[in-house]
Amino acid sequence: MTAIKDNVAIANSEHSSMTLESLRERYSKFLSRREANRKVITFWAEDEFDPNSIQMSGGMPNEGFFPIESINLKISNTPHFEKSERKTVTTNISKETPVELPLSKSMQYSETRGLNPLLDFIRYFIKWIGNSPPYEDSLWEVMLANGSSDSMFKVFETLCDESDTVLMEEFTFVPVISNVMATGAKCIPIKVNLNYEDQGIDIDYLSNLLNNWKEGPYKHLSKPKILYTISTGQNPMGMTLSMEKREKIYQIAQQHDLIILEDDPYTYLTFPKFDPQDKFNNPYENPNFTIKEYLQNHFTKSFITLDNDGRVIRLETFSKLFAPGLRLSFIIANKFLLEKFVDFSELSSRAPSGTSQAIVYSTVKALTTTRANNEKPDLEQMSKAWLSWIIQIAKHYTNRRNITLSTLYESNAYKKKLFSVIEPSAGMFINLKINNISINILEEMNKLDKLLSKNGVKVILGYKMAVSKEFSMSDCNFIRITISFAKNEEELKNASNKITKSIEEYFQKS
């Protein structure tokens, strides 16, 4: 580990002298050949939108041609599943209000990186919760994208060529594999530990793989340039990398000059450890629970907070906290790399939906105590309101986790040791490891899946989320269940009972 410490010391000394030019020198080698061919050609002058000039240049329709005069939002200040629980506030988006982001702006062509009021809020929020890069503010940026899949696509298209390799957890959100393959690059699985106390990426495996790359199983491939990880509430496994593990992984990334691509859609949806003696324990329900307690005891900070040399690219999304149909996410990265992602957006998707941006921004503003449309935004109050909403969601997810686990543990199938549970520490997934299946695993799991479907419940077979079935075959005997979509507690219990009875039926027929 001496080499790692030496590299970390060098990186820390460089941190104080980091500049845009030094970022360019360090990270230009990571860019794809396609990126080198991208040229953003424009006919706009820098002062094109001078408010003192009459605009006769751009192809923008006047706002008078927009058919929508206003959008009225009725906003719940807590997640609701019964009408009696609903408490609402209202706000209005018109062509004049809110003054900083009216429809006349949000429905118009806009900056590719996103609309400034929402970008300003995001930047303030991630700094306010202590989850921003440690280097100079002027050297990192935020841009909006059309959901996490779009964010990933932009990153991989900018960084990967046919000769490249990308490391990722052996079970993962498989559309990312498609993104990597579309560039011609190869995906390399990393072993993960499935036990709760040491959950996530196997540090020793990762270190040995990279240290011995030229003699290892992938010696015919180039050494990886990117480590992709879903660091909190990992999909499908529900695991979270501890800060200790994140520090070790970051040091390995420094030693082997890897970019860390941190995909973190579940970052705020954290669970306390399940307590069999107090099955419905939920600290979020304590009326004295505070934002401070959440940030200190229930929130795991990003890899980006460890990033001394700008090698972490972080992806977040509004899909799990607001609504996926808005197709709104954001990327945080060092300024050099982020400008490359913006350039790609200029040539592809351009800016995300301005209406989606306006709805998110106006909703968060409306949840604050100072929400009048003619008032300037109070970013601290907006941050508190947004985090309070997030904590409410985490509370409901914790209840759902508790109900599901309690039902599973009370089942005959569990008591007969027909399955074990991989308990999640965050997110929306619980995994059931089906015991006593060690041969013909894929065939047997397909048989179980047919029984589950026949009995009226749909799950995901674990092997379908493997980067390489051959690599992970011995651990493919699990099913992933999702706790987020069920209507209520009764539906969760009903689904859990159907699952456990199907497992019993499978073994009776075997």
Q: Same structural domain for residues 371 and 413? A: no
Give per-residue pLDDT as tens, 28-50: 999 999 998 888 877 766 555 66
Domain boundary among 377, 404, 419: 377
Which amino acid, one-letter code, is at 269?
A: L
pLDDT at 8 over 70: no
Which amino acid, one-letter code, is at 97?
A: T
Please state, as a whole number, how many other Cβ atoms lie within 10 Å of the Cβ of residue 444.
17
Tokens of 410: 């009370």
C-alpha 382 chain-centroid distance:
21
The pLDDT value given to residue 468: 97
| Cβ atoms of 507 and 418 closer than 8 Å | yes
Q: Same structural domain for residues 352 and 444? A: no
CATH number for 250 = 3.40.640.10
Give per-residue pLDDT as tens, 170-205: 999 999 999 999 999 999 999 999 988 899 999 999
CATH number for 415 = 3.90.1150.10
Query: For residue 301, which of 61, 153, 49, 132 has the smallest C-alpha distance?
Result: 132
Lowest-confidence pick of 141-145, 267-271, 373-377, 382-386: 373-377
* Orientation angle between helical segments 148-159 and 175-182, nearest 10 degrees: 30
Residue 247 region by backbone torsions, left for phi larger than 0, else alpha for psi between -120 and 50, else beta: alpha
The pLDDT value given to residue 408: 98
Mapped to the 3 state alphabet, what secondary structure does 269-319 carry?
A: CECCCCCCCCCCCCHHHCCCCCHHHHHHHCCCCCHHHHCCCCCEEEEEECC
Q: How confident is the model at residue 10 (pLDDT cuts 50, 70, 90)?
A: very low
The pLDDT value given to residue 3: 42
At residue 429, φ and ψ (nearest 5 deg) are -125, 145
61 lies in a domain?
A: no
Q: Same structural domain for residues 308 and 241? A: yes
Entry pTM: 0.93
Q: Same structural domain for residues 369 and 406? A: no
Count how many domains the chain has: 2
The pLDDT value given to residue 59: 81
Query: CA-CA distance, 130 to 15, in Å (whole number)?
Result: 18
The pLDDT value given to residue 373: 59
281 lies in a domain?
A: no
At residue 488, φ and ψ (nearest 5 deg) are -160, -175
Q: Same structural domain for residues 125 and 217? A: yes
Q: Same structural domain for residues 335 and 217? A: yes
Percent over 70 (pLDDT), the chain:
93
Q: 487: domain range?
A: 396-509
Give per-residue pLDDT as tens, 432-473: 999 999 899 999 999 999 999 999 999 999 999 999 999 999
Q: Same structural domain for residues 254 and 188? A: yes
Q: Same structural domain for residues 185 and 239? A: yes
Q: Same structural domain for residues 360 and 404? A: no
